[in-house]
Amino acid sequence: MPVEITWWGHATCTLEDSGVRVLTDPLFARRLAHLRRRRGALPPPDARQADVVLVSHLHADHLHVPSLARLAPGTRLLVPRGAPRAVPGLRRLTGLRMTEVTPGDRVEAGGLVVRVVPARHDGRRLPVGPHRSPALGYVVEGAARTYFAGDTGLFETMAEEVGPVDVALLPVGGWGPYLGEGHLDAERAAHALARLAPRSAVPVHYGTYWPIGMDAVRPHEFHAPGEEFVRHAELRAPGVAVHRLGHGESVRLEVAR
C-alpha cells in the first residue's frame, strides 16, 4: 500500500498511511507575531482534516492554538506532557481528544501505532515559561515507518532512539537568518539522514516564514536549505531517495518491508 506525504509549508505535513490521515504541527496563519508567510499559499481547508494530529513542542510556530482550533471536533491530538499547563489556550479546545505524551509512549490511532521519541530542542513556550514539556519526535508505524522529527539537533543516540524508519521528515532550516542550538541545518540534516538510513526523505521547516523587514538579511537561509540538503544528502546518504517538495505538493511512496 502506498504512503502519501504532502508538505504544506514549515513543519506542517499530512501523512496518509493505511487509510489514516496524520497531520503534523499545523500552522495555518499568514502571520505569526513577527513572522509572515513569504512563500506558498495557505493550506486549503481540507488540510485541516485529520484523524490524528502530532504536536512536537510548545513553540508557537509548532503549537499554534488558533490553527488547532480549526480542526474538526473529535480529532485526536497528541501533545507533549505538560502542554495544557504551559499553554492555557489548549484547555479551551474541548472538542479535541487530547493526549499528553512523553518519549517511550506508544499510541494506537486507527490502524496505526505512533511511537513517541526524544528530540534535542528547547521545548519551552517562549519567550517566557519554565521548561515543563519535552520536545518530541514521532514515528508513525503503518504500511511504512515514518519519522517526523519536529525540531531537533543532531545527537549521538538518534538512530537507536528513533529506531528503524522507512521515511524521514527532517527539518533543514528555520524561520530566521540564524539557527541556534537544537536545530538541523541542511548539512547536519544530511548527517542525521546517514545515521537513520531510511529509504526516503522529505526536507521540511524551511522557505515558508521569515521575519518582517528582514527579507534582505541572509536570504540564502530562506531560499537555499532544500537544495543544499539534496546536495549534502547525495554525499552523506547516497542510497536515500530525497523528495524536495514545493508547498502543497505530495509524493506517493511504495514501501516494501
pLDDT the model gives residue 122: 83
**pLDDT of 39 higher than 80:** yes
Q: What is the mean pLDDT of residues 167-179?
A: 95
Whole-prediction pTM? 0.96
The residues that bridge with 4 in the sheet, in sequence order, are: 16, 252
State the pLDDT confidence band at 47, using cuts at 50, 70 and 90. Answer: very high
Per-residue pLDDT reduced to its tens digit, 120-166: 998 777 666 666 789 999 999 999 999 999 999 999 999 999 999 99
- Among the residue ranges 17-21, 124-128, 159-163, 232-236, the one predicted with the least confidence is 124-128
β-bridge pairing 200-204 and 241-242? parallel
Strand 20-24 to 12-17 pairing: antiparallel
The pLDDT score that the predictor gives to residue 81 is 96
For residue 241, give every residue at least 6 positions away whose Cβ sits within 8 Å of its Cβ, in sequence order, or none: 199, 200, 201
Which residues are CB-contacts of 229 (< 8 A; sequence separation ≥ 6)? 170, 172, 186, 189, 190, 203, 242, 244
pLDDT of residue 128: 60
Residue 126 pLDDT: 67
pLDDT at 181 over 90: no
Over residues 91-106, mean pLDDT: 97
